[in-house]
A and B are shown apart, each in its own frame.
Chain A
Amino acid sequence: MEGAAMGKGRQFSLGCVVVFVALFSLIVGCTNKTDNDTSQSSSLVMQGKELFMNYCVHCHGPSGVGDGFNALYLDPRPRDLTDSIEVFMGDLSNDDIYGMILSRDIMDPEESERLLDEALENDTELPFLVPPAMPTFKYTLSDAERWTLVAYLRTLHKNDAPQVDIPATVSTTRPIVSGRKVPSWDMAEEEKITLVERGKALFSDKYNCVGCHMIAGYGGKVGPDLSQSGRRLASDWTYQWISNPQAISSDTKMPNLGLSENEAKAITLYLGTLVSPSTS
């Protein structure tokens, strides 16, 4: 009896030790895991920061308050993303930032073509196709890269922000549309005039190219003044560049705006008409 009691006591303390060791390793395991998590999330933030410094800083400024050198030329101006005075970012969900802002869909080319042609034909005011001055990055960066930008933007404002959980199956390849065939530039004069007018409207009212490029003294300064494009640039090259800038220069600050073939053709023809003397 006594022996058995003794045995039970031993078994009990042995059990305690086993449970203790298990708990201990669980705790150690967990703390290790959180360590991993934070270092993983900080590397995501670092990656987002690097992208921000190449693609966003000229308009939003290094701290995100909206004081990039190019902000001066934008209408509307970028707002304060640090929420220092009023809460804006704090009220957005991660999906809002990722979806509506960084992966924004610009209006369907056929729909905008219809609206533009209607206005041009009836000589009514041009429709304001895409109000925000903020370019979309849907066609430039991979899904994963846009999520790292969300993670970085969350570190810029002080208000409570939801934790950024990047979906596990997110794609890491960039949406490069490579090598578009250059169209023929032969066409009737009338067709050309229509396309040039359409191109001009697309340039300023749909894609807001004017936010980064100056023409005849009006516009932004992130990229070259385009006032002399018709004299300087070869049409084939312009068409290729605006269709997919990253295929020509992989790290250029100019985003791929997802132009359709017709739109790229119209904008190329419009730029081809710009031959004003030195305004740079």
Chain B
Amino acid sequence: MDTRSIVYQVLFAVLFAMGSVSFVWSQSEAESVIALSDVKTLEELAKVGEQLFEGKGECAQCHSLQGSPSEKGPSLAGVGAKLTREFLYESLVKPDAYVYLDFTKLPPVPYVTPMPPTLLAKGEILAVIAYLQQSSGQLVSIELSELK
């Protein structure tokens, strides 16, 4: 065997190892995504809610839970403690029924981008509410039986 083929073999082995590691890694990440239908505890429900908040629900595009100010939408820090569950639900499906203003502006004005009604289904909305309640230090007020 000449040195050149040894170099190629080593290179191949290294690349193969890297590829398989990243494949396994991405699989394991995919595994940690819980499906709503598999949810067994309120903890898991809130976890699903978090994934929907960041991903499919697109909430995180305009809101944050850390209270950092944004021109796009009000901070959602503590809303799970502040707002009733019924009103949170309404805010997602009929966001223009009550428009919260930016009270740092004089006079207060609506945020620049009006919020569109959510595309999430009922069970998914409840999961997001569970996430908001949990991250506000509240007990989750949703029953798993409501997801059916």
Contact = CB atoms under 8 A, between A and B. Distances in A.
Interface of A: 57-58, 68-70, 221-224, 228, 231-234, 236-237, 241, 248, 253, 278, 280
Nearest to A62: B106
B103 A278 contact: no
B97 interface: yes
B42 interface: no
Contact of B99 (A70, A241, A280): A280
Contact of B84 (A69, A223, A231, A278): A231
B12 interface: no
A57 B100 CA distance: 21
B78 A248 contact: yes
A237 B107 contact: no
Given A232-B98, A278-B98, A280-B98, A223 B82 contact: no
B86 A58 contact: no
B101 A231 contact: no
A224 B100 contact: yes
9 tightest CB-CB pairs across the interface, nearest first? A69-B107, A232-B87, A237-B82, A237-B81, A234-B84, A58-B106, A280-B98, A221-B107, A232-B83
14 contacts: A57-B106, A58-B107, A69-B106, A222-B103, A222-B108, A224-B101, A224-B103, A228-B98, A234-B81, A234-B83, A236-B81, A237-B81, A237-B83, A253-B103
B98 A233 contact: no
Classify the interface of chain B: helix, strand, loop or mixed: loop
A233 B83 CA distance: 5
Contacts of A236: 81
Contacts of A234: 81-84
Contacts of B87: 231-233
Contacts of A241: 82
Interface string B53-80: 0000000000000000000000000100
Contacts of B97: 278
Nearest to B104: A253
A241 B81 CA distance: 11
B64 to A, nearest CB: 15
Contacts of B101: 224
A232 B106 contact: no
Nearest to A221: B107
Interface string B87-116: 100000000011111010011100000000
Contacts of A224: 100-101, 103
B113 to A, nearest CB: 18
